[in-house]
Amino acid sequence: MSDGKLQVAIETLKKSGIRITPQRHAVLEYLLTSMSHPTADEIYKALEGKFPNMSVATVYNNLRILREIGLVRELTYGDDSSRFDSNMRDHYHIICDDCGKIVDFHYPTLDEIESLAEKVSGFEISHHRMELYGKCEECSNVSVQ
């Protein structure tokens, strides 16, 4: 992650007339520099040191704003918390059933599936999502021991 992405993101915020508050900047920067896909609570805890008075609602508010403006994607899986992803390129996710780790998986978009789905269902398909589940290398090694 280069600072360039952060600058571009800040420009997007400015163009939308959204203020760059310190808290908002920190949330955005954390998402852009994080290689993981953090939950709202993880972001909250990570920024606790810098902003001891920040409310958890502020994190949620800013995540919602960043999502609405298209800078962040919300990943909603099962029962757990939502996770947030600042990688806005089309991609899929591979998730470890054991430890919950999520890694990005780039693959050509499955356009032909969307076309077929439109034909058989009568829907106008706008997008799709896919997750692959399994066991990551670390967890595979642990279970072998």
CB of 6 to a second copy, least distance (A): 27
Query: Which partner from the list a second copy, DNA, none does 57 bind, CB cut-off 5 to 8 Å by kind?
Result: DNA
Q: Which two tokens stand for residue 60?
A: 């949620």
CB of 75 to a second copy, least distance (A): 10
Tokens 């992650």 correspond to 1
Query: Which partner from the list DNA, a second copy, none does 88 bind, CB cut-off 5 to 8 Å by kind?
Result: none
Contact call for residue 82 and DNA (CB under 7 A): yes
Tokens 């939950």 correspond to 39
Burial 51-76 (b: 16+ CB within 10 A, else e): eeebeeebbbebbebbeeeebbbebe
Q: Could you tell me which of 95, 99, 89, 90 has the C-alpha nearest to residue 138?
A: 99
Q: Which two tokens stand for residue 54?
A: 């920040």
Q: Which residues lie near a second copy (CB under 8 A)?
A: 74, 76-79, 82, 92, 94, 96-97, 103, 105, 107, 110, 113-114, 116-118, 120-137, 140
Q: Which is nearer to a second copy, 29 or 85 (CB)?
A: 85
Per CB under 7 A, the list member of 7, 33, 36, 55 interacting with DNA is: 55
Query: Which partner from the list DNA, a second copy, none does 12 bind, CB cut-off 5 to 8 Å by kind?
Result: none
CB of 134 to DNA, least distance (A): 22
* CA–CA distance, 106 with 99 (Å, rounded to integer): 21
Annotate each residue in 15-54 with x if it binds DNA (CB under 7 A) or - if it does not, as one string: ---xxxxxxx--------------xxx---------x-xx
Tokens 């007339």 correspond to 17
Asked whether the beta carbons of 43 and 30 are under 8 A apart, the reply is yes
